Amino acid sequence: MLDQLWPILPVLLIILVAEFVNGWTDAPNAIATVVSTRVLSPYQAVLLATVLNTLGALSGTAVAATIGKGIVDPSIINITTVAAAMIGIIVWSCFAYYLGGIPTSESHALVAGLAGAGMATAGPSVLVWEGWRKVAIGLFFSSFLGFFGGLGIMMVLYRIFLNSKPGLVRSLFGRLQVFSAAFMAFSHGSNDGQKFIGVFTLALVLGGILPEFAVPLWVILLCAGTMGVGTATGGWKIIRTMGIRLTKLEPVHGFAAETSAALVIELATRLGIPLSTTHTISTSIMGVGSIKRFSAVRWGVAGEIAIAWVLTFPVCGLIAYFVARAISYFG
């Protein structure tokens, strides 16, 4: 096995770097609200996210299978395809982070990178349309269910606690938000964490290490742990953008946004649908914020986030395409 592993080891390391970047720039979305409402300190929140992200990644493999087998046809690509896709993710996510702490979707970056690198390797026929149908469903889940879920939960809470004292509401949801943040972190791991597990397993299949696509436990532990280390490194710019710049949040708002986003993500995960957790928590926060008044959401910041979402698909796809062509040409 070691003799087979050495030739693909550089690609496996690149996948782990991409997983680290996922934990560094994407996982902080899961704890942004609980930090901004000051229910938990940044270090408490990072510890919570690290543990729950890891547990979430251990909770299933349906999303991993969709990414590993359902986005591009594994029978007509090679290990170069995977490496090029990972490079696209790393370059784009780091660029957006250093540009201004703009949260990007590693989910969108991943499927776009696989598509771009796959087409460079084998042409348009490489795309598996059943998997892309799930990606389209994920866009609907993250956009509409995220926004209206946050809006709906907040409306119900307003009605229930309409005549309650503000201090009581803050105290109650200060406690409840710890649980909603844990749920959000777990759901992030269950969906986002699985995606790179799927890519890592795909690389093992392409390298001849595994005879068929079946996710080993050691791959889950390795990738989940790597994402946890990335989260522990701390994406504080992302936390500031999502939890402070986008709208002002109290614990009740954070609870509603996290609960809405986590429910949507968990539903998608159990259906094997890869979706953007960044997209989902962002729209949930927008839904929660807009119930106070439409202007409570800083739509300029929301616009920056939306532009990053729109650019992710073509930018990551093109980077991966040209990297795959360059590796093939010089290799």
Euclidean distance between the first and the last CA atom of the chain, given in angstroms as a whole number: 24
How large is the average pLDDT for residues 39-60? 81
Percent residues over pLDDT 70 in the chain: 86
What is residue 206's predicted lDDT score, i.e. its pLDDT?
A: 92
What is residue 279's predicted lDDT score, i.e. its pLDDT?
A: 81
Q: Which one has a higher pLDDT value, 55 or 235?
A: 55
318 pLDDT higher than 90: yes
* Confidence at 238, pLDDT banded by 50, 70, 90: low
> pTM of the prediction?
0.84
CA geometry: angle at 38 spanning 33 and 44, to 5°? 85
Q: Which one has a higher pLDDT value, 4 or 101?
A: 4
Query: In the chain, where does DSSP find H-type helix?
Result: 2-25, 32-36, 42-57, 62-70, 79-100, 106-122, 129-140, 146-160, 166-188, 194-206, 217-233, 236-240, 251-270, 277-292, 299-330
Give the range with max mean pLDDT: 30-34, 201-205, 307-311. 201-205
63 pLDDT higher than 60: yes
How large is the average pLDDT for residues 11-17? 94
Percent residues over pLDDT 90 in the chain: 34
Secondary structure of residue 72 in the 3-state scheme: strand
pLDDT in tens, 256-295: 989 999 999 999 999 999 888 878 888 888 888 777 665 4
pLDDT in tens, 154-164: 999 988 998 88
Q: Are 276 and 29 in contact (CB under 8 A)?
A: no
Size of the chain in residues: 331
What is residue 53's predicted lDDT score, i.e. its pLDDT?
A: 80
243 pLDDT higher than 60: no
- In whole angstroms, how far apart are CA 48 and each of 28, 51, 56, 178, 290? 11, 5, 12, 9, 28
**HSE (side-chain half, CA atoms, 13 Å) at 228:** 19
What is the C-alpha separation between 289 and 283, in angstroms, rounded?
10
What is the C-alpha separation between 131 and 203, in angstroms, rounded?
18
What is residue 264's predicted lDDT score, i.e. its pLDDT?
A: 94
Which residues share a beta bridge with 77?
none
Which residues fall within 8 angstroms of residue 82, CB to CB, at 6 or more apart? Answer: 11, 15, 114, 117, 199, 202, 203, 206
pLDDT in tens, 142-198: 888 999 999 999 999 988 998 888 888 888 998 898 999 899 889 988 888 888 999
What is residue 299's predicted lDDT score, i.e. its pLDDT?
A: 59
| Among candidate residues 205, 297, 201, 215, the one with its CA nearest the CA of residue 249 | 297
Which residues fall within 8 angstroms of residue 200, CB to CB, at 6 or more apart? Answer: 12, 15, 16, 19, 219, 222, 223
How large is the average pLDDT for residues 312-316? 89
How large is the average pLDDT for residues 217-239? 78
What is the C-alpha separation between 249 and 130, in angstroms, rounded?
39
How large is the average pLDDT for residues 15-27? 82
- In whole angstroms, how far apart are CA 87 and each of 13, 45, 162, 267? 11, 29, 50, 30
Q: Which one has a higher pLDDT value, 35 or 251?
A: 251
What is the C-alpha separation between 114 and 112, in angstroms, rounded?
5
How high is the mean pLDDT of the chain?
A: 84
How large is the average pLDDT for residues 105-121? 90
Q: For residue 84, how many other CB atoms are within 10 A of its CB?
A: 28
Q: Are 99 and 308 in contact (CB under 8 A)?
A: no
